[in-house]
Amino acid sequence: MFTLTLADFHQVRVRIAQHIKHTPLLTSRQLSERTGFDVRLKAEMFQRVGSYKIRGPLNKFSLMSDEDKQRGVVCSSAGNHAQGVALAAKIHGIRAVVCMAKNATPAKIAATKGYGAEVVLHGTIWDEANEKAKELVRNEGLTYVHPFDDEQLIAGQGTLGLEIVEDWPDVDAVIVPIGGGGLISGVSMAVKSHNPRARVIGVESSDGPAMKTSIEAGRLETIDCRTIIDGLRVRRAGEINFSVVQRFVDDIVALPDRQIFDAMIWIMERCKLVVEGAAAAPVAALLHGLIDLPARSRVAVVLSGGNVNLDQLRSLTWN
């Protein structure tokens, strides 16, 4: 059963510290007054590539054999995972191939290429791009880098949680967005290994609650995912992630895309921070009273990234 200790996370941090930023934990007077909690924001939009997604690949690639590094890596993504893999591979001198759907936004294609990856456009949805990635694994011997269901990635993402408990040892609760579950798996183990009594709460879109549905069923479920929020859009959570969440996450709440997008605007207006949809989900849960904690609880909110799809945001604000 996959479990990491506090010592494990310290070792991971040593491996990747040279290449990441220890992002700030910002006080939020606005959220604190609104909720009655002492709220601080883990501002991972200031991380390299604009999100936490570089942490895991850096850890994974630092552990790869020289032979595997020479063969290269491949992933399928049109978002933060693509950019995290691309930059981490560049740092380690590894060839990286990223498979994207043909209708991926030009800005994301350009950003991924800018970090040094080769981009292969295939199909019109992620699943088709992912099949192309698997084909490259078979034909070229590339190492496949899963976006969330990977022990080494989970360990890397968990260094975010390590930073939270180091900066705020008395934190009572940490609120984390959930897509496939890689981030909350790592963060929950890091936080609980520091303080088992601290609560870890996940937030999903109710238009695609893959993890919440699975936890309630007691087994992994594949759902009809309707959310349009990139970082939360997963039909089936990871197997490793599901096991970790069962053991280390105290609660999962969900709310609609519309409320999460409204929270994006609220954060920009009130906190003067630019966040993407997935990052706004924990704040949306706070604003709508879904977080059940005692008054004056010390609450850390993970703002997981700031790579906003501006075209999508314009269409939402104009409608």
Q: Which CATH class, in words, describes the domain spanning 6-51+151-318?
A: alpha beta
Helix 277-287 × helix 257-266 angle, to 10°: 90
Task: List Cα–Cα distances, 169 to 4, 10, 21, 179, 298, in angstroms.
Answer: 19, 15, 19, 27, 10
Question: How many residues make up the chain in this entry?
Answer: 319
CA distances from 89 to 61, 68, 114, 268 (A): 7, 12, 12, 32
Q: At what angle do helices 182-194 and 239-248 cross, to 10 degrees?
A: 30
Which pLDDT score, from 0 to 100, does residue 312 have? 61
Cβ atoms of residues 276 and 306 within 8 Å = yes
Which DSSP symbol is given to 269?
A: I
The reported pLDDT for the residue numbered 57 is 98
Range 67-72 average pLDDT: 96
What does the pLDDT average to over 191-215? Answer: 97
Which residue's entry shows tokens 């995290």? 84
User: What average pLDDT score do residues 69-77 get?
Assistant: 95
Active-site pick, 51, 76, 193, 304? 304
pTM of the model: 0.95
- Annotated active-site residue 304? The verdict is yes
Rounded to whole angstroms, the Cα distance separating 19 from 10 reads 15
Beta strand 38-43 with 25-27 is: antiparallel
What confidence tens digit (pLDDT) does each residue in 242-288 have? 999 999 999 999 999 999 999 999 999 999 999 999 999 999 999 99
Active site (annotated) includes residue 42 = no
Among 53, 60, 108, 192, which one carries the catalytic annotation?
A: 53
The CATH class given to the 54-144 domain equals alpha beta
Domain ranges for the chain: 6-51+151-318, 54-144
Q: In the beta sheet, which residues pair with residue 177?
A: 203
In the predicted model, what is the mean pLDDT of residues 98-117? 88
pLDDT at 226: 92
Helix (H) or strand (E) holding 84: helix 80-91
